[in-house]
Amino acid sequence: MKILNYGSLNYDHIYLVDHIVRPGETLSSSEISVRAGGKGLNLSIALAKAGMEIYHAGMAGEDGTELLGILREHGVHTEHISIHAVRSGHAVIQVDGQGENSILLYQGANGKNSVEKIKKVLSCFSEGDVLLLQNEINLLRELMEIACEKGMKVVLNPSPMNENVTSCDLSRVSLFILNELEAGQLVGETEPEQMIAAMRVKYPEAATVLTLGKAGSIYADGERVCRCPCFPVEAVDTTAAGDTFAGYYLTAMLCGREVGECLRTASAASALAVTKRGAAPSIPYYKDVEEFLRSR
């Protein structure tokens, strides 16, 4: 079984601020850094750091050498990433004193995938392989369609949520990993228990992992519901906490671990991620996650 993550690659321009800038306000930041990010790249790095062999597909711009380099440094296969003659995707991220963030995205090369390219990439994968998707690239719907026709399993982290996601045939998804905001937008509920119930009704063939920040996480499929508390830590930057959770959950799941253990490992990994600044650089290695779990 091969794992393909078809997703975004971004340069994150991270500004430390006292508070997130308000409409009409001009605010100085105390620090800036430029790091690798993008929900796609972060997820590939989380899977790789968790010990999984992973193929990343997508588009980088002509300035994307460092993004590919970082993936390769972590052992991610990059032969399905093409270079397009535009700028790479980038994000402007403000991180405040409480570790909360706000993100402004520029899609850049991430929006330049063609049907021809996705067919070519997917021709290298087959029945039983897994396709991971987030929502920072174009042609999400076509990717799901072609992958399902081939018998691949589709795992969707519908982040950031918008009509690009809701216009897809989401009955093709085997597993959703999403947060409260995203679940609310998909099923129109406000309470976690109702969201889980509504996901079961709307997507009866799919399993759902709902992340609830400080309230932990919930897994549900047709047979069981499993809950996991979060690990309280001092957060300095919550960027990529969701990507880290998803990468570690999937790795544990694909290694055949019990659902409760998958949730616990993913929660520990995302707890560690929020104690460090940045997106990809904040994702912990498996040995650190193991050590953290042993210490609890």
Using the contact rule CB under 6 A, the part of the chain among 26-34, 77-85, 124-132, 239-247 near ligand RIB is: 239-247
Q: How far is the CB of 123 from ligand RIB (least distance, A)?
A: 28
Q: Of 114 and 238, which CB lies nearer to ligand RIB in the complex structure?
A: 238
Q: Of 172 and 284, which CB lies nearer to ligand RIB in the complex structure?
A: 284
289 part of the interface to ligand RIB, by CB under 6 A? no
Other CB atoms within a 10 A radius of the CB of residue 275 amount to: 15
Q: Of 10 and 265, which CB lies nearer to ligand RIB in the complex structure?
A: 10
Using the contact rule CB under 6 A, the part of the chain among 54-62, 191-199, 235-243, 281-289 near ligand RIB is: 235-243
Residues 148 and 181 sit within 8 Å (Cβ to Cβ): no
Q: How far is the CB of 274 from ligand RIB (least distance, A)?
A: 12
3-state DSSP of the chain: CCEEEECCCEEEEEEECCCCCCCCCCCCCCEEEEEEECHHHHHHHHHHHCCCCCEEEEEEECCCHHHHHHHHHCCCEEEEEEEECCCCEEEEEEECCCCCEEEEEECHHHHCCCHHHHHHHHCCCCCCCEEEECCCCCCHHHHHHHHHHCCCEEEECCCCCCHHHHCCCHHHEEEEEEEHHHHHHHHCCCCHHHHHHHHHHHCCCCEEEEECHHHCEEEECCCCEEEECCCCCCCCCCCCHHHHHHHHHHHHHHCCCCHHHHHHHHHHHHHHHCCCCCCHHHCCCHHHHHHHHHCC
Q: How far is the CB of 157 from ligand RIB (least distance, A)?
A: 9
- Kindly name the residue from 12, 129, 237, 243 that is annotated as catalytic: 243
Interaction pattern, residues 8-27, with ligand RIB; x per rule: CB under 6 A: --x-x---------------
Interaction pattern, residues 31-70, with ligand RIB; x per rule: CB under 6 A: ------xxx--x----------------------------
* For helices 39-49 and 241-254, angle between their N-to-C axes, nearest 10 degrees: 50
Q: How far is the CB of 124 from ligand RIB (least distance, A)?
A: 25
Annotated catalytic, 18? no
Q: How many residues bind ligand RIB (CB under 6 A)?
A: 15
Pick from 4, 60, 71, 91 the residue near ligand RIB by CB under 6 A.
91
Q: Of 259 and 274, which CB lies nearer to ligand RIB in the complex structure?
A: 274
Binding footprint of ligand RIB on the chain (CB under 6 A): 10, 12, 37-39, 42, 91, 103, 105, 136, 239-240, 242-243, 279
Q: Catalytic residue numbers?
A: 243
